[in-house]
Structure 1
Amino acid sequence: MAPYEALYGRKCRTPAARDRQKSYADIRRKPLEFKEGDKVLLKVSPWKGVVRFGKKGKLKSTFCWTFKIVERIGSVAYRHELPEKMQGIHDVFHVSNLRKCLADETLTMPLKDVQVNEKLKFIEELIQIEDSQTKFLKRKRLKLVKVIWNLQEVRNLLGNLSPK
């Protein structure tokens, strides 16, 4: 018998610690459901990411690759379509390890106008000088020039493709 019950002769009406903790956890919990054919990102732990997925490094992302959901198994598990290089990994994951992939495959940039050198750096060429002015400081004169580079067209294209 609990001390409260022995003293007062009735059960305590305050919620137990487990109930209180559950209510705190339920506030942040949101139900996740996916359909067959949805693309999802898989969350991997740091150690398993190195061992199973070859993801290492200090600044690596927590989520790896996008996978397509093949079927739903129960209420909280999903079977995925894994590539051939991941044949040793089980293809069923819990919903807590998945995030919806928000990338839109229709927003791809054509790379025919982009020039790259042998070190895979963009080659920037001067197209036009738009404006120039001189800024006077206490003891210096700075010449400011506004230039349009060929890479600017690529940046404009990327800006137009980004979702608003």
Structure 2
Amino acid sequence: MFCSKCRLGKVGPVAYKLDLPEELDGVHDTFHVSNLKKCLADLTLQVPLDEIQVDAKLNFMEELVEILEREFKKLKWSRIAIVMVR
């Protein structure tokens, strides 16, 4: 049974099944309760599905728009680049 507000159904003591939209039919729809977070609906934070790009393994792909800042942290034997991107 799915709740109408969050489209979530309980399938076991610690597992929930999400009723995902058709665009996400390649995404596994059953999750352990520890992987779910309470959703406070804020429409300004929603990302339209047509703006989300995933590869064949369903990894999220991001596009680099601009490098805003770059610095290097020096450790004892190495340096780590820290880059702020938009």
Q: Same fold (TM over 0.5)?
A: no
Q: Choose 1 or 2 for highest CA Rg.
A: 1
Report which of the two has the higher share of strand. 2
